[in-house]
Amino acid sequence: MGTDSSNGIGSGINAAPRETLRIVVTGHVDHGKSTVIGRLLYDTGSIPQGAIDKAMAASKERGLNFEFAFLLDAFEEERKQGITIDTTRLSFSTDKRDYLIIDAPGHVEFLKNMISGASDAECAFLVVDAARGVEEQSKRHAHMLRLLGIPRVGVLVNKMDLVGYSEETFAKIVEELGDYLAALGMGADVFVPLSALSGENILKASDRLPWHKGPTLLGALDGIAKGPSEDGLRLPVQDVYKFDERRIIAGRVESGSLREGDTVLISPGGRTSRVLSLESWLPKDRRTSARAPESVGITLEDEFFNQRGDIVSHQTDPPVVAARLRASVFWMGKEPLRVGRRYKLKVATASTDAVIDAIHSLIDSGTLAPSEGAREVGLNQVAEVGISLRKALALDPFASHKATGRFVLVDGYDVAGGGIVTLAMAQEPARHGFVKGALSARSEVFEEYYLSFGTREVTKSPGDAPALYGVGDRVPLSGDSYEYPYDFDIVVFRDRVAVLIRDGRVQDILRLDDYSFQGLPLVNGSGYKVIADSEESFRELRDAFLSDGPKNEAALAQRHLDFNAYRRIAFSKADYSI
Amino acid sequence: MARLDHLESLEAQSVYILREAYRNLGRLGMLWSIGKDSTVLLWLAKKAFFGHCPFPFIHVDTSYKIPEMIEYRDRVAKELGLELIVHRNEEALSDGMGPDRGRLACCKALKTDALASMTKKYGFDGLIVGVRRDEEGSRSKERVFSERDNDDLWDHTHQPPELWGQFKTEFPKGHHIRVHPLLEWTELDVWRYIGREGIPIIDLYFAKGHERYRSLGCAPCTAKIKSDAATVDEIIAELALTKTSERAGRAQDQEDAYAMQKLRQDGYM
Ligand SMILES: Nc1nc2c(ncn2[C@@H]2O[C@H](COP(=O)(O)OP(=O)(O)O)[C@@H](O)[C@H]2O)c(=O)[nH]1
């Protein structure tokens, strides 16, 4: 159906650029969402005659009275089932601005679609049937809206015709829902009594609601203030292009702004550089600054390694480099979310494997009562969980930066859950490894590999040498199962740290980005020889290790690592002591 | 700094989607129907990739297209140095397939089936298509990254959520993703953008002798509308007043109430 926004009231033909507000309409099934939306579109003249005729014909075909909801039902099977099964997007305009409505279904099985539809809404309206009052799904939806980071809600108390336009009934719902929303930490901005079916209190105040001093639906919509935009720069790197002589870092400014000449920090690597230029195809698009949510391409003064998932920010307001998270997660997967299971976590443009460490509480969305000790989270449930990331990522708590503070969990091929970061914990200090100031790297370089003669299994043991080494410390160059030269370098890819060993001691610990190939023997964080013979070949394999997912790791190891150079497998001592 | 206006936001989002597709989908192509929407897409691709077009453009040619479209296609492809793939269902054509065999049968053979065999032949993992949600009912349910199975079928009832711009980039081998960067645009947005950017589009859209095309397709199945709109501004003014839907001149949409939905489930764009 055609719903060109210009068909709405008040939009001039060559009007100046107008503001668009994205809203979601949600509520318990049958409370009247579709009717409210149908009515709003119809009354603002936003529906082409063709669509109205089609809906009329469809109602007639089935021997039913005309329903506003039919205007929204584009699909055959929906008409059969009589419920909305997916979100649709429709638009209309008022004198003030354009609106994009996301019609969210109330049927619980289709919650994931609601979440999908609600995902980019700036404000939500909860429709409540005046006769039936607040029901389970009304509460569940309110809770979901909060988790989606849509704290602003308006409540539409619909079907006032069924309760004789009673002020008392309205007041009761205002009180009950108001309390509930307050307990969630959300405020309802506005409560509007109306009848979508009879068209009361939609565009103009209704004679039947003389006691109502608040706005009409139209007034409530136009009264919503667009939220303030976040000001700290977040530019997650989407891709790096080398189509020509330029090396362009492409991405979308998720918040804040940047200008040519700005000094920027690139996380999680931690290097800084200056923005040389903002690139564009057409001369007319040439600019020296950019702001959210523009898609941009920048070049930097220093050409060091950066990749998809890195975040460009200003130095004064950096993201957190985190390996562990606390998060609120809502689950949409067929299989429950389980403690100990591995998922793919995607936040902005970064992704890594993630393991659920713990389910701290499972929240019943009906009563909002938390329960503890759960081992799994089922379909449509909400939980507070702890998550460990395989690779430390740059991200933010949701409260400070939305776009880099929310993530999805992928199970197999599908997005199975969404979450917001409540707490981002910087990397856990290494228990075995190297430390220098804020830099730390986990290491298994001095671990022993033993083969059990009896079971024929190989086991690793940390050995009994001191666990952490700082600059100047002597390291154990030989053990039962390894022998390193006096001078060699260690590169710990997962923590992006390099360690220089000279004359059997730690000479320096530095960021991997600042390390260049020294022509000395080189091992990785497990003590396997890294096969590189020049700066060029080292860079190539470093970039491959840093950018490729775990799937590729075995293949990379096969090509670039040699287990046997400094290591062997020793028979287990435990065996011969028996 | 001022907020982005509506067209700037749409452009930014479409560019983001194109870059996600290029980064995450292996072999990628863009369907180019010669119409205004896919010409806007081409323009956006140039912006996204800083003047480059790092994938081929595909025209599924039914052989019944309005002749000016073919001439325009070849000229623009040459001017912009596009890698152009023209694909036809030769088998059905030599078998005499045409609109006289039934409009839907013809659409299915020369468009849907041709598209499917082209996807297989070139092994595409991703196809960028310029459909919009406001065009007709079934398109309003689309995802930005929409999975198609081995047989090109679209299962619109079991679509995974598209949460926070995290699109579907994991899928079994043999499946492919239809990428829809213009999903959020309306017909009017497209025209306003064409006007603002000065995008050269085919002149069949502009009125000659009180008639013009509002939507372009095959000559036998596409009707002109009565119109005196001869410039982009006049078209915008006309659209602001019209109450008929954009695809009213496209015969396949009018066959029956669910024609388009059926075509699209089978893999039609
Ligand atoms: N009496 C009355 N009925 C209404 C009103 N709004 C909706 N309905 C009816 O309630 C039923 C459910 O409405 P619908 O919009 O489909 O609900 P949804 O499931 O929330 O989308 C339909 O039969 C509507 O006609 C209203 O204001 N008054």
Per-residue pLDDT tens digits of chain B, which is 269 residues long: 567 889 999 999 999 999 999 999 989 999 998 899 999 999 999 999 999 999 999 999 888 888 889 999 999 889 888 899 999 888 888 888 888 888 888 888 888 888 888 999 999 999 999 988 877 666 666 789 998 887 767 776 667 777 888 998 888 888 899 999 999 898 999 999 999 999 999 999 999 999 998 888 887 888 888 999 999 999 999 988 877 777 666 666 655 556 666 666 777 76
Query: Rounded to the nearest 10 degrees, what angle do helices A136-147 and A111-118 cross at?
Result: 40
Residue B164 sits in the same domain as residue B239: no
Instruction: Tell whether ligand 1 has an atom less than 6 A from the beta carbon of residue A294.
Output: no
Ligand 1 atom 19 nearest Cα: A30
Instruction: Tell whether ligand 1 has an atom less than 6 A from the beta carbon of residue A84.
Output: yes
Q: What is the pLDDT of residue A553?
A: 76
Instruction: Tell whether ligand 1 has an atom less than 6 A from the beta carbon of residue A85.
Output: no
Ligand 1 center from residue A70 Cα (angstroms): 11
Amino acid at A474: R
Q: Which residue of A has its CA nearest to B234?
A: A13
For position B179, which CATH number holds?
Answer: 3.40.50.620
Amino acid at B153: L
Residue B74 sits in the same domain as residue B46: yes
Residue B232 sits in the same domain as residue B260: no
Report how far residue A74's alpha carbon sits from residue A245's, in angstroms, rounded to the nearest whole number: 49
Does residue B105 lie in a domain region?
yes
H-run or E-run covering A251: strand A248-252
Q: What is the pLDDT of residue A106?
A: 42
Q: Are A81 and A69 in contact (CB under 8 A)?
A: no
Instruction: Tell whether ligand 1 has an atom less than 6 A from the beta carbon of residue A79.
Output: no
Whether CATH 3.40.50.2000 fits A5-222: no
pLDDT tens sequence across A256-313:
999 999 999 999 988 899 999 999 999 999 999 999 999 999 999 987 778 899 999 9
Residue B212 sits in the same domain as residue B91: no
Residue among A327, A314, A331, A328 at smallest CA distance from A275: A314
Does residue B217 lie in a domain region?
yes
DSSP B96: T
Residue B241 sits in the same domain as residue B261: no
Burial label, A213 (beta-carbon count in 10 A; 0-12, 13-18, 19+): exposed
Q: What is the pLDDT of residue B232?
A: 94
Residue ranges of chain A that CATH labels 2.40.30.10? 235-314, 320-426
Domain count, chain B: 2
Q: What is the pLDDT of residue B257?
A: 53
Does residue B19 lie in a domain region?
yes
Residue ranges of chain A that CATH labels 3.40.50.300? 5-222
> Rounded to the nearest 5 degrees, what angle is found at the Cα of B230, between the Cα atoms of B34 and B67?
35
A281 vs B50, B141, B246: nearest CB? B50
Does residue B158 lie in a domain region?
yes
Q: What is the pLDDT of residue A85?
A: 35
Tokens, residue A526: 């497990």
Q: What is the pLDDT of residue B223?
A: 82
Q: What is the pLDDT of residue A432?
A: 77
Residue A380 at interface with chain B, using a CB cutoff of 8 Å? no
Residue B211 sits in the same domain as residue B94: no
Q: A337 — phi, psi (to 5°)?
A: -75, 130
Q: What is the pLDDT of residue A103?
A: 56
Superfamily of chain region A320-426: Translation factors (2.40.30.10)
Annotation: CATH topology of A235-314:
Elongation Factor Tu (Ef-tu); domain 3 (2.40.30)
Residue B240 sits in the same domain as residue B261: no
Residue among A345, A224, A536 at smallest CA distance from B163: A345
Instruction: Tell whether ligand 1 has an atom less than 6 A from the beta carbon of residue A73.
Output: no
C-alpha distance across the termini of chain B, in Å: 39
* Contact (CB<8Å) B3/A19: yes
| pLDDT less than 70: residues of chain A | 1-17, 48-51, 64, 66, 69-89, 102-120, 147-149, 151, 227-230, 364-370, 427-431, 463-466, 548-551, 573-578
Ligand 1 center from residue A197 Cα (angstroms): 7
Ligand 1 center from residue A31 Cα (angstroms): 6
Does residue B196 lie in a domain region?
no
Residues in chain A: 578
Q: B11 contacts in A (CB within 8 Å)? A: 295
**Positive or negative: CA dihedral A511, A512, A514, A517:** positive
CA dihedral A217, A218, A220, A223 (to 10 degrees): 180
Q: What is the pLDDT of residue A429?
A: 55
Amino acid at A9: I
Residue B98 sits in the same domain as residue B82: yes
Q: Are A150 and A420 in contact (CB under 8 A)?
A: no
Query: Rounded to the nearest 10 degrees, what angle do helices B232-241 and B187-197 cross at?
Result: 160
Residue showing tokens 């372009």 = B216
Residue among A390, A395, A388, A383 at smallest CA distance from A421: A395
Residue B82 sits in the same domain as residue B163: yes
Range of the domain at B79: 6-186+255-265
Q: A57 contacts in B (CB within 8 Å)? A: 257
Q: Which residue of B has its CA nearest to A13?
A: B237
